[in-house]
Amino acid sequence: MKKFFRNLLIVLVGAIVLGVLYFLWKKSQPEVAVYELVSPKIGNIEKKTVATGKVEPRDEIMIKPQISGIIEMLYKEAGQMVKAGEILAKVKVIPEMGQLTSAESRLNVSQISLDQSKSEYDRQFALFQKGVISKDDFEKVDSNYKKAKEELANAKESLQIIRDGISQRSAKYSTTQIKATISGMILDIPVKVGSSVIQSNNFNEGTTIASIANMGDMIFKGKIDETEVGRVTEKMPITLTIGALQDKKFSAILEYVSPKGVEENGAILFEIKAAAKIPDSVFVRAGYSANAEIILGKKEKVIIIPENTVEFSHDSAFVNVLKEEKPVQTYTKKFVKVGMSDGISIEVVSGIKLKDKLRGNKVEKVKEIKK
């Protein structure tokens, strides 16, 4: 029995030793990699950059009141089209008590002056009819009487303006009626009925009653990195992709490149603006996010290869050209002169021919058994 177990142990140890030796032998066999073969081809290549930003109207006008008060009525809503001169809202004036008292006092004084001037006028007119006073003396009294009437009219008008914000003589120039200054679409009305508003003056820009813009004249406004700004110029064509309208693309023309950059998150960015060509059949809302694709360079009918087939060493570029395919792939390293790249394909100026086959990505590994 002991002999049986001893023989079994010897067999197991021998099997283990043979297994280890086989594993080490397999491990020592050289690996042969098989690569995908790529052929150069004639094609077009473009160098592009993408700027992120938004589409907005070229001119957005903020409508401000010319008088302080409270919104009494709103006649329009956001999204409606208006023409220049249309009434948007009406402001109810809340008079300042000091100004109101002063205006009422001025009206009373003007009335007293007019009564006195009229009495003087009546007396002098009777004397002038009898020939007691000269025409020159009567004209002076008549002039004073007319001035008193004009002063009373001005006092009444001033009181109406302070109290109501409008007078009878200047009704068509009323500052209580807020009117559109341009034709276009109302983008926003940030106030409500009952809201207090402040007039626009030298010390305050005033409360915005509404914002109006011409939606037929849209621009793309975005930012581009400093590494690309040197290659963009005005009047370059741009392709816009709007986030809310991903299935559509719009053309645009670059109009402006900022001469000064701003730092954002450690990068220097430059603002750009482009005139967007939006068809009348498409409605683009103000503030849509968009990407602008700018073609920095383009070459047509040149030799191109995948960029991952090129190896770079210092200032030189190389490709591996197939020498033999069977039984094992062998390659020859060749120097090439490259040109424009779009990040996927690269132009080859010289160094290879269209009939050459280049080493691409590794596709599989096999073991070559030594004989």
3-state secondary structure the chain: CHHHHHHHHHHHHHHHHHHHHHHHHHHHCCEEEEEEEECCEEEEEEEEEEEEEEEEECCEEEECCCCCEEEEEECCCCCCEECCCCEEEEEECCCCHHHHHHHHHHHHHHHHHHHHHHHHHHHHHHHHHHCCCCHHHHHHHHHHHHHHHHHHHHHHHHHHHHHHCCCCCCHHHCCCEEECCCCEEEEECCCCCCCEECCCCCCCCCCCCEEEECCCCEEEEEEEEHHHHCCCCCCCEEEEEECCEEEEEEEEEEEEEEEEEEEECCEEEEEEEEEECCCCCCCCCCCEEEEEEEEEEEEEEEEEEEHHHCEEECCEEEEEEEEECCCCCEEEEEEEEEEEECCCEEEEEECCCCCCCEEEEEEEEEECCCC
pLDDT in tens, 196-213: 888 877 778 889 999 999
Task: State which fold the 49-57+215-298 domain adopts.
Answer: Elongation Factor Tu (Ef-tu); domain 3 (2.40.30)
Residue 358 has pLDDT above 70, yes or no: yes
42-to-316, 318, 354, 358 alpha-carbon distances in Å: 23, 19, 8, 15
Q: Are 159 and 103 in contact (CB under 8 A)?
A: yes
- We find that the CATH architecture of domain 62-91+177-213 is Beta Barrel (2.40)
Residue 229 has pLDDT above 50, yes or no: yes
Task: State which fold the 97-164 domain adopts.
Answer: Helix Hairpins (1.10.287)
Average pLDDT over residues 70-94: 89
Q: How much is the mean pLDDT over the chain?
A: 82
Tokens of 26: 């397999």
Domain 31-46+300-367: CATH class, spelled out? mainly beta
Average pLDDT over residues 59-81: 89
Using alpha carbons, select from 217, 202, 274, 201 the residue that is nearest to residue 51: 274
Tokens of 324: 């033999």
This prediction has a pTM of 0.61
Q: How many Å from the N-terminal Cα to the C-terminal Cα in the chain? A: 44
pLDDT in tens, 296-346: 888 888 888 888 888 888 888 888 888 887 777 788 888 888 888 887 888
Q: Are 44 and 301 in contact (CB under 8 A)?
A: yes
Residue 78 has pLDDT above 70, yes or no: yes
pLDDT in tens, 256-294: 999 999 998 888 999 999 999 988 888 889 989 999 988
Q: Where are the domains of the chain?
A: 31-46+300-367, 49-57+215-298, 62-91+177-213, 97-164
pLDDT in tens, 113-153: 888 888 888 888 887 787 778 888 888 888 888 888 888 88
| pLDDT at 142 (0 to 100) | 84
* CA 276 to chain centroid: 11
- Residues 332, 307: Cα–Cα separation, whole Å: 18
Other Cβ atoms less than 10 A from the Cβ of 210: the count is: 23
How large a percentage of the chain has pLDDT more than 90?
Answer: 22
| pLDDT at 170 (0 to 100) | 53
